[in-house]
Amino acid sequence: MTIRSKRGDNVTPYEHKLVVKFAKQCLREICKKQYEIECQGKPIVYTEALKRLQVRTKYRCQSSYGSATHICIDMQRYRQSFISFTEYRSFADDPVIGSIKDCDDRELLLKCLVAHEVAHHIQSRYGAWTRYLKNTYRKPHGDAFKTIYRELRRTLVNPYINQSEAA
């Protein structure tokens, strides 16, 4: 299955493909039945979720972001060989979704960034229809976002953090 995407002029094809791959992994995970993500009363399935997301990449030293229609990932920190991922102060110390320090796996840290932005996409796109997100989906880094992001981090990122540090 393909996903709609747009590669910035100064982003390499490899970097763009990596971001698209990570976005697909996040969607595949969050579309599992156990998460009960819905749209207009129907469970969202992976193939439909792919159609409703566009992945954009850029290299402009700007913020990355996620919205109801797309995610946009700035590759600056990836190219700078970053070794940490700093989260917002309100949850930086959370043991599951908090900041990551001293990790030399750039791709894993990029996957963490993509998971963060995909969580915003899911929150914005499906929060109003999903039973357990309905009441809190409007706040950008509120409970709905944290719930989605927690599942993505728990399954796709965190199991590999200690492995990359040991390497």
Three-class DSSP category at 66: strand
How is the beta sheet containing 65-66 ordered, strand by strand? Answer: 4-7, 54-58, 70-74, 65-66
Q: What is the pLDDT of residue 55?
A: 98
Does residue 105 carry a pLDDT above 90? yes
> Per-residue pLDDT tens for 128-166?
999 999 999 999 999 999 999 999 999 999 999 965 443
Residue 69 CA, distance from chain mean position: 13
The bridge status of strand 65-66 relative to strand 54-58 is unpaired
> Per-residue pLDDT tens for 43-70?
999 999 999 999 999 999 999 999 999 9
Q: Of 20, 138, 10, 164, nearest to 84 (Cα)?
A: 164
Does residue 167 carry a pLDDT above 60? no
Q: What is the pLDDT of residue 163?
A: 58
Q: What does residue 53 show for φ and ψ, rounded to 5 degrees?
A: -130, 135
Structural contact between residues 131 and 36, judged by C-beta atoms closer than 8 angstroms: yes
> Per-residue pLDDT tens for 15-37?
999 999 999 999 999 999 999 99
Q: What is the pLDDT of residue 165?
A: 45
Q: Of 115, 111, 123, nearest to 160 (Cα)?
A: 111
Structural contact between residues 114 and 92, judged by C-beta atoms closer than 8 angstroms: no
Structure-token pair, residue 68: 């109801």
User: pLDDT > 90: what percent of the chain?
Assistant: 91
DSSP per-residue letters across 125-160: HHTTTSTTTTTTTTSTTSHHHHHHHHHHIIIIIHHH
Which DSSP letter does residue 62 get? -
Task: Compute the mean pLDDT over every residue in the chain, rounded to the nearest whole number.
Answer: 94
Helix intervals (H) in 44-105: 46-51, 76-79
